[in-house]
Structure 1
């Protein structure tokens, strides 16, 4: 088989994602109303192999890089942000599995490389030590993609025989061992179905559990040292992937407002259409600079992560802090661009029939994800620039 370069593979995958935009846009209202991504979308994304971005080539996956993942997320979000979010989180959860030991990877992918994985890394619940592993009882809220997944990747406490927590861990559990509690009632990102997954005294064998602190420090159970992708910096990855959909929302909102401007007047003014109004011209210029800024920061952060992984080096604390800052900055720039565009387009931006109000709501909600929080990220980054590492958050 002709080995294609990462660049060629990226171009091919992004064009597949772009080809799905009309379908996703057509189904966006239904995805929202149903509180879950419609099956047509999931089937089309699977057929385009876009759930395989982070699956190792050993299992027939694509094993791309984070720049490719951002661009695919961005393209899908131009059609439906909820669908893009679910796809992104599923790909990220697959990446988490790629960090695990060989047996865990086989458990998940041996039978089927297109198997889908939902994930919540925030540790929850209580564990008890039993022969051969742990039994866990927990609730993990905001499990994006859980309605479409066969496996869950979760955070949990690792305990000793006496029940004392030794450290935080991460584990994989088949969805058939879990139940889903319907808790996702939100103003935006309604279609992600990010409900709560529940474990009642579920057994997890030892080999399906790994130490969170080791993973954060770059010590991964995966024996495949030559696979650069699975040695990328953990927290920078988890922060950056969340802003891929923001890029698409902001870009799509900008394209929409520019496309409609010649056909729209401005009520109670002498302007025949928006195109001739300086207020709109200035707003479009400002929004475009914000959208571009979001892209520049996102792509630079991806280059930093991918570059360090390829070189096989650990990112320095200040570099990791900067990626968190970049992610927060992207979210804020995209959100602000959409706000300006809604004002320029006018009050009909908020008609339920307009895609603008969905981009607005989705970006307002998605950009509030805890690990993207711009203020906390700025604090971490500012401290790191002044030579202070640690404190604030262990997620750097």
Structure 2
């Protein structure tokens, strides 16, 4: 199936690229850009058809994310996380889906998954209080997905829950002042004793077992894919797109650059520059091929009704963190090969270098932890932690 949403987004990319500096300085994606992406249907790619969505394979979202991130990494990052949330909401109870989309099918949702708040059980649900950080795109969103812990009973460990909370129950506190991904507006969400009805809480136990109450009404196979792949691939594809944008900018600039210190040699004629570009391109393309392959393979399993083997799930997470690592390696080579120009403010190489490194510190990009999970799986050692 062709990705007509990508066809609608491509004409928007020059303007998104032009607004990249504005996004950095405003510390959020311009509202105009969000409106354009909404009009193009980007944020409905993973939304159920029952609510006017397109119910498409996550691969279609990832393709859009890479191209948007190539133009503006911050905008690509927000596109990735806000764009992937409809998939998770589709696993919640139908009543929660109605809360979000029945009256406002274009509602956008941000997130902050670290369980930093306090949850108390009450009749019919929970009371929630606390502060959550790094909620990308939160200024543009009407809802938030927030991580929290339900205390265990009789000595049992706490259970991780994702709580779905409306904008009327929280405030967005402007604290985002960072060196990379400055334009993502990843501000804090603050709640003072909000009620969360039980239907707006989704258990990690169900999530890890690839099930959820929403599957009763959303029967498309995409809603049986692992959260560990669907969400993590949104993050890494934004970083891969960041590398693709740096690569394109680097090649265009180096075609004309002359090294006066080397007797006026054109960089385009430098064999060492040729090697660096080849290595960078290889790293980026290897990342894309591995990511796309894993999405395709897991999709085949769920479409056939088969269980996704643990090794396939672990390999997907392995390739996800390696995709981030490869993208960073590519950008480092391009940055070094760009000379003094690469450290000047407001140029693509400098911005993409900063933004890719900022994206790499997201918890989902813990390379050693993900690789260790894969290694334990290969040796038959039980895996009792981690998301895959």
Given that residues 90 and 218 in structure 2 are in contact (C-alpha distance below 8 angstroms), is that contact kept between their aligned partners in structure 1?
Answer: no
Moved more, 30-39 or 253-262: 253-262
For the pair 1:86 / 2:78, whether they are aligned, the reply is: yes
Given that residues 149 and 160 in structure 2 are in contact (C-alpha distance below 8 angstroms), is that contact kept between their aligned partners in structure 1?
Answer: yes
Match of 1:359 in 2: 352
Task: Report the 3-state secondary structure (helix = DSSP H, G, I; strand = E; otherwise coil) of the residue aligned with 2:376.
Answer: helix
Give 1:77 deviation, angstroms: 0.6
Q: Deviations over 1:129-153 (max 9, x none)?
A: 2221110112111111111100111
Match of 1:341 in 2: 334
Q: Which of 226, 239, 244 lines up with 2:237 in the alignment?
A: 244
Give 1:102 deviation, angstroms: 0.9
Give 1:389 deviation, angstroms: 3.1
Match of 2:378 in 1: 385
Match of 2:53 in 1: 61
Match of 1:204 in 2: 196
Match of 1:269 in 2: 262
Matches within 5 A, 1:211-360: 211-222=203-214, 223-224=216-217, 226-360=219-353
Q: Deviations over 1:229-281 (max 9, x none)?
A: 21111212221111111221111211112222221112310243111111111
Give the 3 Å change call, closer, same or farther, for CA 282–65 of structure 1 in structure 2. Answer: same
Give 1:18 deviation, angstroms: 1.9
Give the 3 Å change call, closer, same or farther, for CA 151–234 of structure 1 in structure 2. Answer: same
Given that residues 69 and 88 in structure 1 are in contact (C-alpha distance below 8 angstroms), is that contact kept between their aligned partners in structure 2?
Answer: yes
Q: Distance in 1 between matches of 2:256 and 2:119?
A: 61
Q: Which of 128, 134, 141 lines up with 1:142 in the alignment?
A: 134
Give the 3 Å change call, closer, same or farther, for CA 373–164 of structure 1 in structure 2. Answer: closer
Moved more, 155-164 or 323-332: 155-164
Q: Deviations over 1:103-141 (max 9, x none)?
A: 111111111221100012232321112221110112111
Match of 1:18 in 2: 10
Q: TM-score, normalised by structure 1?
A: 0.93
Given that residues 152 and 159 in structure 2 are in contact (C-alpha distance below 8 angstroms), is that contact kept between their aligned partners in structure 1?
Answer: no
Q: TM-score, normalised by structure 2?
A: 0.95
Q: Distance in 2 between matches of 1:155 and 1:190?
A: 23
Match of 1:128 in 2: 120
Give the 3 Å change call, closer, same or farther, for CA 389–270 of structure 1 in structure 2. Answer: farther
Give the 3 Å change call, closer, same or farther, for CA 245–225 of structure 1 in structure 2. Answer: closer
Give 1:181 deviation, angstroms: 2.3
Q: Distance in 2 between matches of 1:327 and 1:22?
A: 28
Give 1:164 deviation, angstroms: 8.6
Q: Distance in 2 between matches of 1:191 and 1:163?
A: 44
Q: Distance in 2 between matches of 1:122 and 1:95?
A: 19
Task: Report the 3-state secondary structure (helix = DSSP H, G, I; strand = E; otherwise coil) of the residue aligned with 1:196.
Answer: strand
Give the 3 Å change call, closer, same or farther, for CA 177–280 of structure 1 in structure 2. Answer: same
CA RMSD, aligned part only?
1.8
Give the 3 Å change call, closer, same or farther, for CA 355–394 of structure 1 in structure 2. Answer: closer
Match of 1:376 in 2: 369
Give the 3 Å change call, closer, same or farther, for CA 349–166 of structure 1 in structure 2. Answer: closer
Given that residues 129 and 163 in structure 1 are in contact (C-alpha distance below 8 angstroms), is that contact kept between their aligned partners in structure 2?
Answer: no
Structure 2: gaps of 5 or more residues: none
Give 1:166 deviation, angstroms: 5.0
Match of 1:3 in 2: none
Task: Report the 3-state secondary structure (helix = DSSP H, G, I; strand = E; otherwise coil) of the residue aligned with 1:215.
Answer: helix
Task: Report the 3-state secondary structure (helix = DSSP H, G, I; strand = E; otherwise coil) of the residue aligned with 2:211.
Answer: coil
Task: Report the 3-state secondary structure (helix = DSSP H, G, I; strand = E; otherwise coil) of the residue aligned with 1:263.
Answer: coil
Given that residues 158 and 165 in structure 1 are in contact (C-alpha distance below 8 angstroms), is that contact kept between their aligned partners in structure 2?
Answer: no
Structure 1: gaps of 5 or more residues: 1-6
Give 1:184 deviation, angstroms: 2.2
Give 1:22 deviation, angstroms: 0.7
For the pair 1:104 / 2:96, whether they are aligned, the reply is: yes
Task: Report the 3-state secondary structure (helix = DSSP H, G, I; strand = E; otherwise coil) of the residue aligned with 1:187.
Answer: coil
Given that residues 42 and 61 in structure 2 are in contact (C-alpha distance below 8 angstroms), is that contact kept between their aligned partners in structure 1?
Answer: no
The size of the alignment, in residue pairs, is 387
Given that residues 253 and 359 in structure 1 are in contact (C-alpha distance below 8 angstroms), is that contact kept between their aligned partners in structure 2?
Answer: yes
